[in-house]
Amino acid sequence: MKAEIISIGDELLVGQTVNTNASWIAYQLNLQGIEVLRITTISDTHDEIKNSLQEAAGRATAVLITGGLGPTRDDITKQALCDYFGSSLVFHEPSYKNIIELFGSRGLPVRDVNRRQAEIPHNCIPIHNANGTAPGMWFEKGGIIYVSMPGVPFEMQPMMRDFIIPELLKIKKGDHIVHKMIMTQGVGESFLAEIIGDWEDHLPGNFKVAYLPQPGMVRLRITGRGNEPHALEKELGRLTRELAELIPQYVYGYDEESPEEVIGRLLKEKSATLSTAESCTGGYIAHLITSVPGSSAYFTGSVIAYSNTIKTSVLGVKEQTLKAYGAVSEQTVTEMDEGIRRKFNTDYSIAVSGIAGPDGGTPQKPVGTIWIAVAGPRAALAKKFLFGKNRERNIRLAALSAINALRMAVMEQRI
Amino acid sequence: MKAEIISIGDELLVGQTVNTNASWIAYQLNLQGIEVLRITTISDTHDEIKNSLQEAAGRATAVLITGGLGPTRDDITKQALCDYFGSSLVFHEPSYKNIIELFGSRGLPVRDVNRRQAEIPHNCIPIHNANGTAPGMWFEKGGIIYVSMPGVPFEMQPMMRDFIIPELLKIKKGDHIVHKMIMTQGVGESFLAEIIGDWEDHLPGNFKVAYLPQPGMVRLRITGRGNEPHALEKELGRLTRELAELIPQYVYGYDEESPEEVIGRLLKEKSATLSTAESCTGGYIAHLITSVPGSSAYFTGSVIAYSNTIKTSVLGVKEQTLKAYGAVSEQTVTEMDEGIRRKFNTDYSIAVSGIAGPDGGTPQKPVGTIWIAVAGPRAALAKKFLFGKNRERNIRLAALSAINALRMAVMEQRI
């Protein structure tokens, strides 16, 4: 089974919304061995909807559509679907009941626009929407499956998980695809290519490696295709181990595991606790750490000392240190780190102070200069980084580098 | 001029990278009145590249391509472009010099894979890459413009800004498009539709409104088309004012202004300062606030009191309060708020305590229960919210609601 995704919505074409739905759906389909051939984003017009359905049907056997449904935008999409599938709208009682219940639980009255959402093409199978008012729709025509879903991620995702994926798997046959993602930090794409190039040239013909760089990390994805799922998985495991052994110092995890999940796992294993003292990262490290469910088991908290006053009054940085070396210095970041670890009484700590930009740089300390300190029960270390001029990127790179520095220190038992 | 965007890359089709490039490009083109008809994401294969170029050329007069370039993935894309444009690869000296300089500034040796990046089709205009090794390529064929750019945002964006957009504007003629985005918080899509439905029905024929809901907010986009840019802008201004007057309590800003930018502007106007005390939001409010350049003018810092110990030892919440009412209560969040405002000596403060999930809920306080307190020079207030079960969404909704509560209180001079 090969699939295509059609995303409907002017908000996507004018660039005011990023198409995260398409990525999410593609990821889920790939996990199940369903290859996605294309993702097409179109506008909310009758002709574009009909044309793109026709085109996708010429290439794929499953076409997944998102968007164009919802209380204020239902009409065009449903009319285009009716046209394409030669059907007409009928009132669907269970969908209407769902709308009434949903509004009732929120203490809101049902409006006319919501009532119209319960109207669906007569030849579709309606898909229950647990988190919203617009039902999904499943069509079959000429041996091809079409599914239309609302564009709100929170509504679309349970439909995919609970109904669409299980139904597609009943129909799917043929080739299997396997993936393994190797997550690296601290090395660039072309340097990686040089180290593993030879190994890559000798991969079995049904396997390939893709380099996926993003700020602060490069992900290496190994993909294999074949019709023997068991043998394929085994070969993937062997190749993954081989690759990881070529670059052990750079591999921090696998399969989209985030640096914050890895550090969380390590801290849990040690029953150790962590606190952070942040200046230029402004709470972003704490946010990453606490985005992991269960992080309260090891994360105690943080002081964001954005102003120098807080660095001295709350973290205990000496005024003399700030005067002599400045806020962005090895001395200050080390005292911040000592301060937070003492005050929050944790085993490990991270401190960051730097110039995120766009202002605040000097010839000696240009925008992008960031000092990072990490400390543990045995020792502490501080390190200087020089990133670029982009504020958002500097904050992200500083946070990732800080988490990576702590991870390496913890794993090498250096601190 | 109508445009299409083609994004090349298996990482997009397997859902492991979100296509932010396409949104960014679409947004930039729209700002210049260039409508984007479609965004197509395809795999890194010769046939897909050729076919999608052909198809896009049947609809649009400018085709912008990203991806498929870079040290480890050059070959297929460049060969497909050579084929499509009937050209062959030649060595481009200035591109090679750029590569040497870039590697030199980072103290790295130039590798063979990088040398090959200086080879480009002979009939393209090369586009300088200030931040990377792969040059961009500009082609013209049959009255249609094609541009190929690397997929790394940091490399692609300056090419668009400095070369491609200015060149496209020289060629562009015809219709103008104008947009205005009205940002709302605290109201749902269908309720908005009911309030403004009448007004919407009486819009001039060349204007329309789109509802763009996302967690915690609904954006309303007014779009107009015509060939008199001045009259169009004036009409857009009038309609924007009319719409904003219908829903003044919900409008917090315009044109993608974020809640954290608005609160920053308000605090700057008052020369006032802000601190935050965060539990379940784990630093996300501070991160949002400090993502705004210049936020150090009003943001002093934050205590993230993830553990109850820190709530008492650092923020001064009474142990008795925690025992009697629990960490997620009006009493605790109010004491957190008082504590941070006193300790950090700021004019305004925000405190949040809640259950983000997935664990920690009880029948009395289910997952999604969040208490928010805001305080200012005159008074303080606390409010309870009940969101859903998704951790990430709860953190985001709590942070947005807290910033919104502070904004409303500040604007209404209530605190």
Per-residue model confidence (pLDDT) at position B251: 94
Q: How many whole angstroms separate alpha carbon A314 and alpha carbon A312?
A: 6
Q: How confident is the model at residue B413 (pLDDT cuts 50, 70, 90)?
A: low
> Does any CB of chain B come closer than 8 Å to the CB of residue A176?
no
Per-residue model confidence (pLDDT) at position B340: 98
Per-residue model confidence (pLDDT) at position B301: 98
Between positions 328 and 347 of A, the ones with CB within 8 A of B are: 343-345
Smallest CA–CA distance from B12 into chain A, residue: A23
Per-residue model confidence (pLDDT) at position A101: 87
pLDDT in tens, A111-137: 777 888 899 999 999 999 988 889 999
For testing contact with chain B, the best of A306, A308, A312, A346 (most B CBs within 10 A): A306
pLDDT in tens, B67-121: 988 776 657 899 999 999 999 999 999 999 998 888 877 777 887 778 888 999 9
Per-residue model confidence (pLDDT) at position B290: 98
Q: How many whole angstroms separate alpha carbon B292 and alpha carbon A391?
A: 9
Q: What is the 3-state secondary structure (H, E, C) of B348-360?
A: EEEEEEECCCCCC
> Does any CB of chain A come closer than 8 Å to the CB of residue B46?
no
User: A17: which chain B residues are within 8 Å (Cβ-Cβ)?
Assistant: 23, 212, 214
pLDDT in tens, A186-233: 888 888 999 999 999 999 999 999 888 888 899 999 989 888 889 999
| Closest CB to A310 among B191, B283, B344 | B344
Q: How many whole angstroms separate alpha carbon B11 and alpha carbon B26?
A: 20
More confident residue, A103 or A360: A360
Reading phi first (left if > 0) and then psi (alpha if -120 to 50, else beta), residue B194 is in alpha
What rounded mean pLDDT belongs to chain B? 92
Average of per-residue pLDDT across B180-187: 92
What rounded mean pLDDT belongs to chain A? 92
Flag if B299 and A306 touch (Cβ within 8 Å).
yes
Cβ A183 vs Cβ A206: under 8 Å:
no
Residue B233 has pLDDT above 90, yes or no: yes
Residue B337 has pLDDT above 70, yes or no: yes
User: B290: which chain A residues are within 8 Å (Cβ-Cβ)?
Assistant: 281-284, 304, 306, 395
CB pairs under 8 A between A and B: 298
Per-residue model confidence (pLDDT) at position A102: 81
Per-residue model confidence (pLDDT) at position B203: 95
Two tokens, residue A31: 């996990």
Per-residue model confidence (pLDDT) at position A174: 66
Most confident of A21-25, A99-103, A178-182: A21-25
Per-residue model confidence (pLDDT) at position A74: 60
Residue A173 has pLDDT above 80, yes or no: no
> Does any CB of chain A come closer than 8 Å to the CB of residue B56?
no
Residue A40 has pLDDT above 70, yes or no: yes
pLDDT in tens, B187-223: 888 889 999 999 999 999 999 998 888 888 999 999 8
For testing contact with chain A, the best of B116, B200, B296 (most A CBs within 10 A): B296
Q: What is the pTM of this model?
A: 0.78
pLDDT in tens, A229-264: 899 999 999 999 999 999 998 999 998 899 999 999
Per-residue model confidence (pLDDT) at position B115: 83
Per-residue model confidence (pLDDT) at position A216: 84
Per-residue model confidence (pLDDT) at position B33: 83
Between positions 268 and 297 of B, the ones with CB within 8 A of A are: 278, 281-287, 289-291, 293-296
Q: How many whole angstroms separate alpha carbon B285 and alpha carbon A304?
A: 11
- Parallel, antiparallel, or unpaired for β B207-214 and B119-121? unpaired
Per-residue model confidence (pLDDT) at position B116: 86
User: B30: which chain A residues are within 8 Å (Cβ-Cβ)?
Assistant: 14-15
Flag if B179 and A314 touch (Cβ within 8 Å).
no
Q: How many whole angstroms separate alpha carbon B80 and alpha carbon B50?
A: 6
Residue B172 has pLDDT above 70, yes or no: yes
Per-residue model confidence (pLDDT) at position B352: 98
Flag if A344 and B305 touch (Cβ within 8 Å).
no
For testing contact with chain B, the best of A4, A6, A7, A19 (most B CBs within 10 A): A19
Place of tokens 């962590």: A274
| Host H or E run for residue A374 | strand A369-375
Smallest CA–CA distance from B69 into chain A, residue: A211
| Closest CB to B113 among A131, A193, A278 | A193
Place of tokens 């604007």: B411
Q: How many whole angstroms separate alpha carbon A161 and alpha carbon A157?
A: 6
Least Cα distance to A45 among A68, A18, A27, A69 occurs for: A68
More confident residue, A275 or B130: A275
